[in-house]
Structure 1
Amino acid sequence: MRNKFSRLIYFEEYVQINGINQYLFHAGTKYDNPVMLFLHGGPGFAESIFSYIFQEKWEEIFTVVHWDQRGAGKTLTKNPNECPTINLMLKDLFEIIQYLKKKYNKQKIIIFGHSWGTILGSMFIKKHPEEVAYYIGVGQVISMFENERVGYEKVKELSLRANDKKSLKELEILGDYPGNNHGIGFKKKSEKLRAVQGKYNLAANGNLSAIISLIKSPIFKLSDITALIKMDKVNKELIEFWSKFDIRSESIEYKVPIYYVLGKNDWQTPYVIAQEYFKKINAPYKKLYLIPDAGHMTMIDQPNLFFDVLIDINYKQKQNKSITIM
């Protein structure tokens, strides 16, 4: 693995976490920078492999650690028969944070959640607020069924406006969407919606350019493709949990600062739902950022604007730790 930018911190490792070897990828420029743990999407979609596209500037102000979760990426490759549950994932996350606190001599770690990672991250900060400096949610999931309903209505509206008969037919085939399915059935149906949403840049697109980006990654191995193919099979129980998730059934009280960074063109986890929920939560400090012309992969779609947000969050944490915004 070539350290293109000669980073002081730049390495991969497997660490014994909760009974199995789990993959971490570290990158940064100073040991005294705050440590940010990136919780990827999915379940099962490791984003460490795409980090080279968007996080070069981040490493100037954070030490960024990517964790390929149980059932994802290089951790799945190492442990092909380990099937995650939400309880296992929360315990894994707790142990990884203990490891990072000791390794970098930190009292607390920043949690950065993307998509599925916002479910895991939001649950963790409720359970262990004492471990977390603050939380950043990108593509924040509030309710999976509500996400699908609102995302479906949006792409249907655009298809009608464009008189796009092919897309309208594909939407009609989905029937009463999202329906009453859970688990894998729900996920397979949602993937058909993503294909239509992708035509209108409303959702993340697994197109040729995404495949090229994957292969160009400095940490890419052929086994990463195999892990992507296997992810649904090993994550069945977690996908069942994910499909039923609704954060609104939990308390709106948070004990750590909360930042939401939302793409104004994200209709995979529709920003309007997260925006509405955010107004209701109570936290020591909270702020929401809306990034124009950015979709579900917000940090890739608008990397410069996204970095500006991270600079602002970093500054606010240094200056406004005692401020409460209701």
Structure 2
Amino acid sequence: MKKLWLICGALLVLACSGAAAQELPDPYAKARAIVEDLGRITAPTGVQDSYKTRIGGVDQWLSVRGQDRANPMILFVHGGPASPVTPTMWQFQRPIEEYFTVANWDQRGAGKSYGETDPDKVAGTIRIERYVDDAIEVAEHLKARYGQRKLVLMGHSWGTIIGMRAALKRPDLFHAYVGVGQVLDVRENERISFDYAMARATRENNTEALKEMGTIAPYPGDQPITRERIIVARKWPQHYGGLSAFRSDSGYFFRGPLLSPEYTPGQVKDIDKGSVLTLGRVLPEFLQVSFAAVKRFPIPVVMFVGRHDYTTPAAPTVAWMEQVDAPYKRVVWFERSAHMIPWEEPGKTLVSLLEFVRPLVR
């Protein structure tokens, strides 16, 4: 079956339609049952909630898990747009749940939320500011429902755009902000990513890559970043490990929903449908995103940075962190990661949350 390349915010997603969209054979159901049993929270102090609630006028899904309700809560804002973490959280999140309660939110038009509202109704609301207001409303809901004074706000990829803007708009809701694969300046990110792939392809004499990238060079240059150009520009950095370090593909992530106990086979199909719904509508806004002009950040900010990330390259984020004024700031390097830090280095992700983020909860 034909593969569909999608730009998921700051993340190039290879949506393997033949894998994720087909009817799931019986063996997947048995495997999902094992994953579900392993992840079941049985501690009397724990929480394991999966539910939908009205956010921004539409029903959106939340998954809230942790071993102790008294722990601090993380609101994780997923990438994409429309690339939810909920169906792959089983791959890395369980140890974090011993120290934090983690809320994963399927954004409007994404994952399980996609099937709750007529896509035609959602389509007209696909704007960055609407996502930001949703995030704020989700945070207020979680605070009230779980008795939290404030939350830790953690964004990944596309979710860092929503997260940064939410923190700037409503800093009173959050102890700290954690950016993972931070989108800092889209045009600069695109340039660095493309130059990296060109250099690798030149060094390895990859004539196919050089020919294809040559059709859009110089990139981004002074030309508009069209959907067609960005697809070519993202393909080859991913091939050279810019999405998952030392890997040319990320099948663990794209096929991971097949084993998720949180998702039905139909909801797995909806992941791709959500990407199609949101991509074209949000792309023009996404391409204009830059936080370079933000000189002061109102809450502590911690950046988790993959040394090999050429989906959202580190240099603009590191340069911004050097000049920004914030109550606390820290850059944490992940030497064996590219863009998918929690999946690539789950142990260091946990240790870094405990060492650099947990003390900020006061």
Give how far 1:13 is off. Answer: 0.3
Taking the TM superposition and a 5 Å limit, the aligned residue runs for 1:119-158 are: 119-158=161-200
Q: Is the 8 A contact 1:194 1:203 kept in 2?
A: no
Partner of 2:23: none
Q: Deviations over 1:49-80 (max 9, x none)?
A: 11111111110111101101112111122122
Query: Which one of 284, 287, 290 corresponds to residue 246 of structure 1?
Result: 290
Extract unaligned runs of 5+ from structure 1: 322-326
Q: Is the 8 A contact 1:170 1:196 kept in 2?
A: no
The more displaced of 305-314 and 231-240 is 231-240
Q: Is the 8 A contact 2:189 2:313 kept in 1?
A: yes
Matched, 1:6 2:40: yes
Matched, 1:23 2:61: yes
Within 1, Cα distance between the matches of 2:216 and 2:153? Answer: 36
What is the one-letter code of the residue matched to 2:354?
I
Matched, 1:202 2:238: no
Within 2, Cα distance between the matches of 1:171 and 1:264? Answer: 23
What is the one-letter code of the residue matched to 1:98?
E
Within 2, Cα distance between the matches of 1:315 and 1:196? Answer: 37
Q: Percent identity?
A: 26
How many pairs align?
315
Q: Is the 8 A contact 1:24 1:66 kept in 2?
A: yes
Within 1, Cα distance between the matches of 2:157 and 2:192? Answer: 16
Within 2, Cα distance between the matches of 1:228 and 1:77? Answer: 12
TM score, norm. by length of structure 1: 0.91
Query: Which one of 309, 312, 318 corresponds to residue 355 of structure 2?
Result: 312
Query: Which one of 84, 97, 106 corresponds to residue 46 of structure 1?
Result: 84
Give how far 1:241 is off. Answer: 1.0
What is the one-letter code of the residue matched to 1:6?
R
Taking the TM superposition and a 5 Å limit, the aligned residue runs for 1:1-326 are: 2-7=36-41, 8-79=46-117, 80-81=119-120, 82-83=122-123, 84-179=126-221, 180-182=223-225, 185-186=226-227, 188-204=228-244, 207-222=250-265, 223-249=267-293, 251-317=294-360
Give how far 1:191 is off. Answer: 2.7
Within 1, Cα distance between the matches of 2:73 and 2:338? Answer: 26
The more displaced of 98-107 and 1-10 is 1-10
Within 1, Cα distance between the matches of 2:68 and 2:254? Answer: 32
Structure 1 residues 211 and 261, CA, compared in 2 at 3 Å: closer, same or farther? closer
What is the one-letter code of the residue matched to 1:218?
P
Within 2, Cα distance between the matches of 1:292 and 1:225? Answer: 34
Give how far 1:211 is off. Answer: 3.6
Partner of 1:324: none
Q: Deviations over 1:173-207 (max 9, x none)?
A: 2233125325xx34x43232332122211125665
Q: Report 1 or 2 for greater relative contact order, CA contacts < 8 Å, sequence distance ≥ 6.
A: 2
Within 2, Cα distance between the matches of 1:281 and 1:11? Answer: 37
Q: Deviations over 1:26-46 (max 9, x none)?
A: 111001101100101111211
What is the one-letter code of the residue matched to 1:114?
H
Within 1, Cα distance between the matches of 2:345 and 2:171? Answer: 30
Q: Deviations over 1:258-317 (max 9, x none)?
A: 000000000110012211111011111111101102010011111112221111124432
